[in-house]
A and B are shown apart, each in its own frame.
Chain A
Amino acid sequence: MSNLLNISPSPHIHDRETTRKLMYGVVLALMPALFISVFYFGIGALIVTATSVASCIIFEYLIQRFILKKPVSVTDGSALVTGILLAFNLPSNIPIHIIVIGSFVAIGIAKMTFGGLGNNPFNPALVGRVFMLISFPVQMTRWPVPEGFKTGYTDAVTGATPLAIIKEGIKNGESLSRLMEKIPTAFNMFMGKMGGSMGEVAAFALLLGFAYMLYKKIITWHIPVSIIGTVAIFTTILWLINPETNANPMFHILAGGVLLGAIFMATDYVTSPMNPKAMIIYGIGIGFLTVIIRVYGAYPEGVSFAILIMNAFVPLMNAYIKPKRFGEEVKYG
């Protein structure tokens, strides 16, 4: 057999990029934010991440091995990414059993029931997160105060997120300028020193990850830039109309999950559109819905809902928003 020639059709060479390498590239890009999270929230951040990652991988393995009875592909890194992203959307003091339940929803319901990697319409980490938010509203909104590294887990001092402070305050008729004094400075927000879910707080760490993923061509700029741009433009308009009830655009971008969502959640390959034109429309939709929910909705934060809502439109966008084909419009003669 050894002297037989392989006659497979062209191309005969393949790029070294693989699904696994892309996934581990995303994991690497998430590391700065994890580091900052441990720095501000202590050992709890590690416990939450480890629990979430382990549960996601184990659930995927068990489902593939015993229910679907298909070849196990947990080493492709996608469950690892889902685990980290789910953890990043949680407070760093959340009870462990809740994380396990959330991981089951993320992997078991949002991903594997649809056929596993590549087939799920909704971002698994966000489905898990939203399920947890609705089922465990108290535990999911008890945000530890960023008091620096500590080894305690569930005993942290808790406080509200900047977005919640503004939301509650406006509802109670307080003036925005007074409320702005209660929230961290823009610089502290940029560095991640604020209450919030563990992965979303540090803008600079997330931007570092963004730069890395752009450099490695893991993602393109279209989705993150159109989301952040839309949030900036929309909140600027609202702020200019009424600066006493609407926060400035800088606040809206730095507070909450806009950056984490725009850079890491909305860019999830499986649940986002595939061509640049559709990506931009998708990004604008997410940015717009985020602001609508934040300013007019019942929840202080709306990124997760905005992304999930736009996820639902992705199949439609893939079907109807087409790239302009080469030679489609005659340019000569």
Chain B
Amino acid sequence: MLKTFPIGGIHPPENKLTADKAIKYLTVPESVTIPVSQHIGAPAEVIVNKGDDVKAGQVIAKGRGFVSSNIHSSVSGKVNKIDNVIDSTGYRHPAVYIDVVGDEWSETIDRSNKIITEIALSKEEIINRCFESGIVGLGGATFPSHVKLSIPAGKKCNILIINGVECEPYLTSDHRLMLERGEEILIGISVIMKALGVEKAMIGIENNKPDAISHMTNLASELHGISVHALKVKYPQGAEKQLIKALIDREVPAGQLPVDVGAVVNNVGTAFAVYEAVQKNKPLFERVVTISGKSLSQPGNYFVRTGTPVRNLVEAAGGLPDDTGKIINGGPMMGKAVNSIDVPIAKGTSGILIFPRDESERPAVGPCIRCGKCISACAMNLEPFLLMTLSEKGLFERAENERITDCMECGSCSYTCPAKRPLLDYIRLGKSTVIRMARERNLK
């Protein structure tokens, strides 16, 4: 029996079209637009001016406060302007526009291919380096890594969990990274273990990636304390709480964090970024992005500089098909549809999906037949149909009592509903209202 989480979950068609496509380097674009908010927390503060010359890896915006992150230039060239850009959230945020000249990197970055195994930095130095290098969680949430690695006083962490689940359909960036950069990922894991002061790390990989499981198992067999675990294919297994439950059978209490059960979860992509930052002194300005979709002629996986317009990636994949109806930043379950092909790729962009018009429209909505499938699908064991009704009717106090804030917005309920009801849309509305109400209550 393969391990998995016990409650809820769905199994959408996997559509991993790019699983055997080796990662290529996307040509550096002619210009980049680098948003100063590519992470959870306060936006970074721009420290360059129009006309400045910058190099790849140079800090162009400083993290403000603890929960924030540095932003680096991903290219060398001249700052064209500092202006708002509509990013993948659909809102305008400040960004640094840079016209590319050559490809010069900061001198401090080790650009050689040599893999450095020895970890020279101390615990504090590692955490500081993660902050300096702008490392954030690359699984999608983009939570600043230095915050995650700084265990709060009074809390104890005894295990590191590495997320190689990649449960979203289509996406293969983590899969390819494990196959092609496995050694670096493992060193990155050792670095994170040192920062956390833990002896044990577990890598969870879903069973639809047998090549990655055996490759990582082989590599990890030479290391002490790191083990690889095959997991049953089930969405949303890549969610932190579900992955912890699946691997070590600890249940993170509602409203608390993984560290409250002694675990810290990091994505394999983050482990790779930590390796690059700590061992090679390379800040986070490049990541693996899957470009996929059934209508694309050449879907694939690419190392992409942050700030690159989606357009360049789509052109590398054979150009935008005529029948395109939707462009998604991320996976089909939790990704966000973007309103333009020119939005910049950011630290949190794990994939870009191109959906044809006939798959882009929402199906027609019918009445709730009370089949209970949304309850069976909910990995948090909530009652999505009820939360939707309560939100629809504005009964937010009741929604709060029904624990609407436990919802992680994985979308399993909306996916599974036979009447195609917009469950998650209403739950999001209710959840954000309840969170706002709770905040106002705390102010009083």
Contact = CB atoms under 8 A, between A and B. Distances in A.
B273 to A, nearest CB: 25
- Interface footprint category on B: 35 or more
Contacts of A9: 336-337, 424-425, 428
Interface in B76-115: 90
Interface in B337-396: 337-340, 353, 355, 359-363, 366-373, 375-376, 379-383, 385-386
B333 A10 contact: yes
Nearest to A2: B357
Contact of B418 (A12, A19, A324): A19
Given A15-B415, A18-B420, A326 B372 contact: no
A19 B385 CA distance: 15
Contacts of A325: 254, 380-382, 403, 406
B82 to A, nearest CB: 26
Interface string A274-305: 11000000000000000000000000000000
A72 to B, nearest CB: 13
A211 to B, nearest CB: 19
Contacts of A15: 10, 12, 415-418
Contacts of B241: 326-327
B371 A332 contact: no
A323 B375 contact: yes
Contacts of A118: 367-370, 419
Interface stretch (B53-61, B196-204, B323-331): B323-331
Contact of B324 (A5, A14, A117, A272): A5
A116 B380 CA distance: 31
Given A6-B361, A332-B251, A14 B414 contact: yes
A7 B338 contact: yes
B411 interface: yes
A12 B335 contact: yes
- Interface footprint category on A: 35 or more
B16 interface: no
Contacts of B340: 5
Contact of B369 (A12, A269, A327, A333): A269
A73 B373 CA distance: 21
Contact of B383 (A17, A323, A332): A323
A111 to B, nearest CB: 12
A247 B379 CA distance: 45
Interface in A222-252: none
A76 B367 CA distance: 11
Contacts of A7: 90, 326, 337-339
19 contacts: A7-B337, A7-B338, A10-B330, A10-B424, A12-B360, A13-B359, A17-B418, A19-B419, A22-B418, A117-B369, A118-B368, A269-B369, A318-B386, A326-B245, A326-B381, A327-B406, A329-B251, A331-B249, A332-B251
Interface of B: 7, 10, 12-13, 90, 169, 241, 245, 249-256, 260-262, 324-328, 330, 332-340, 353, 355, 359-363, 366-373, 375-376, 379-383, 385-386, 403, 406, 409, 411-412, 414-420, 424-425, 428
